[in-house]
Structure 1
Amino acid sequence: MENLKDKVAVVFAASGQVGGAIARGFAAHGAKVYVTALNLAAVEALAAEIIADGGQAQAGKVDALNEAEIDAYIQQVVADNGRLDMVFNGIGSYYKDAGSGTPTTMATFEQFLHPLQRICGSQFLTSRVAAKYMIQTGSQGTLLQFTASMARSKTPNMAGFAAACAAIEGLTRVMAAEFGQHGIKSICIASGALLETRKIQGMITDFSAALGLPREQVAANYTRFDILKTVPTLKQLGETAAFLVSDNGMVFNSHIVDFDCGKLNIL
């Protein structure tokens, strides 16, 4: 189904597995996708993969923390297409930089601020620049945010990351209220741990070594609150994103959409 046919999308930080999955989902449903990252070679490979699968894609080098670069890139996309229909930012953070796993009494102020500045700050920049051009062109597009379920769980030693996740949820609602008058939607996907990603597998390995516990025992903590005996996949993430930015997805405007198959410990 090409429910995004003739739509134009920009995916920032697309060199990661999350951004790549979203880009593939958009392209599979007919969108023309611009994939960007600091690692140009990675997004060029992603664009080539999308094209080989019959989609439309173009790669560019953009620092998702540099507003001037973001603005210049989106301006060119709009100049080339006359519109911008959706934007997604898959920026992440190395968990040690964010103080994740470190007691709040020991985490530094810089570690606490790191995810707020990097993850939430970057999504603020890409979304507000995209909104500006959507308003100028009357695109009535979708600002698709991404956060983690940490915002609504009770997990120790995650102060900075949990605060950043909650901030992104708040930003989503503010933008929905602010830009709705222009027909622009703001929706947020709140994901649980995506176990197939390198980032989560690396955390499991590190925590296993730090705690002196078997790796299998640490990995089991990620699924012990699952309602269903299944976990979401990156492919499903791409499909979910493609639905949310489609015309049918507008019913979720301003909402935080949990992507976890159901968790007993998430509010």
Structure 2
Amino acid sequence: MNLPLSGFGLRDKIVLVTGASSGIGAASARAFAREGAIVLAAARRAAEGEAVAAAIRAEGGRARFLQADVTRQDDLRRLVDTAVADYGRLDVAFNNAGTDGRFSPFLEQDDANYDLVMNTNVRSVFWAMQHQIAAMLKTGGGAIVNNASMGALIGFQSAAVYVASKHAVMGLTKTAALEYFPRGIRINAVLPGIIDTPFQDRVWGDEASKQAFANATVAGRSGTAEEVAGAALFLASDHASFFSGQGLVMDGGYVAQ
């Protein structure tokens, strides 16, 4: 395979990013656009999502915002249908949207939290990949990146449902990769650790708790949304042409200890 001499070779690729209104999703949408991709930035929150797309266009990039709730299959289907109808294909999908739900001791986890987390983190990825794969098969292939978290590898106290959901995302990633890598679709995942985003602010509740966990990494700090975006770009690019069903761990060395 002839790889690009520089950059990620994503110019003019049609890229869908979910959860693009803030944090890792917003940083990834900007990063794909800076590489020359045409970005469909999807999220529930319209004002924030429109602001991300507008900022990309102000920098000279190409982006549009599409409002969508990933817990609704019709919305996920519409995102793919829009890409195909307006651009002829979908080259890359970054299934980034997710929720932490409610962290609490195992016996305090309830059905409402289970349904919220599993529907947002797992069923949405299952639905999304079904529509994305079907579209990519018609146009010769593509790349899918899922956001699985380092919680896909280890456990965390008070996070049973969240951790289970991220293990499930890796299961979906590996299985779909086995089936569709021979047909030109590369499916992998990023597994971020503690990343300095609004998501982590909600999880930890206060800066001292967040910093204490960051200090437990080998790096001694939190990661940035831009660092995760760089990993998503790599996995979406032909530089990762021999990656299939893998989870790229970005945790400052936490799980290596």
Q: Same fold (TM over 0.5)?
A: yes
Change (3 A) 1:109 1:65: closer
Change (3 A) 1:246 1:68: same
Maintained 8 Å contact 2:148/2:170: yes
Alignment partner for residue 23 of structure 1, among 22, 29, 33? 29
SS for the counterpart of 2:48 is helix
Alignment partner for residue 252 of structure 1, among 240, 243, 246? 243
Q: Which amino acid aligns with 2:159?
A: M
Matches of 2:210 and 2:222, distance apart in 1: 13
Identity rate, percent: 26
- Structure 2's unaligned 5+ residue stretches are 1-6
Change (3 A) 1:229 1:193: closer
Matches of 1:230 and 1:104, distance apart in 2: 28
How far does the alpha carbon of each residue in 1:29-58 deviate from its partner, in whole angstroms, 9 at most, with x for none?
A: 111001112222222111111111121111
Give the aligned partner of residue 194 of structure 2: 193
Taking the TM superposition and a 5 Å limit, the aligned residue runs for 1:147-166 are 147-166=148-167
Q: Which amino acid aligns with 2:107?
A: T
Matches of 2:155 and 2:231, distance apart in 1: 26
Maintained 8 Å contact 1:65/1:125: no
Q: Which moves more between the two structures, 2-11 or 224-233?
A: 224-233
Q: Is 1:184 aligned to 2:175, yes or no?
A: no
Maintained 8 Å contact 1:26/1:241: no
SS for the counterpart of 1:221 is helix
Give the aligned partner of residue 79 of structure 1: 85
Matches of 1:173 and 1:197, distance apart in 2: 27
Q: Which amino acid aligns with 2:190?
A: I
Maintained 8 Å contact 1:153/1:266: no
Matches of 1:50 and 1:239, distance apart in 2: 17
Alignment partner for residue 36 of structure 1, among 31, 38, 42? 42
- Structure 1's unaligned 5+ residue stretches are 209-214
Question: TM-score with structure 1 length normalisation?
Answer: 0.87
Give the aligned partner of residue 203 of structure 2: 203
Matches of 1:22 and 1:59, distance apart in 2: 14
Q: Which amino acid aligns with 2:118?
A: L
Alignment partner for residue 116 of structure 1, among 111, 115, 118? 118
SS for the counterpart of 1:222 is helix
Maintained 8 Å contact 1:145/1:188: yes
Give 1 or 2 for the bigger CA radius of gyration. 1
Q: Which moves more between the two structures, 242-251 or 221-230?
A: 221-230
Superposed displacement of residue 231, structure 1: 3.2
Q: Which amino acid aligns with 1:46?
A: V
Give the aligned partner of residue 60 of structure 2: 54
RMSD of the alignment, in Å?
1.9
Taking the TM superposition and a 5 Å limit, the aligned residue runs for 1:225-240 are 225-240=216-231
Alignment partner for residue 137 of structure 2, among 116, 135, 138? 135
How far does the alpha carbon of each residue in 1:62-93 deviate from its partner, in whole angstroms, 9 at most, with x for none?
A: 22222222223311211222221111122222
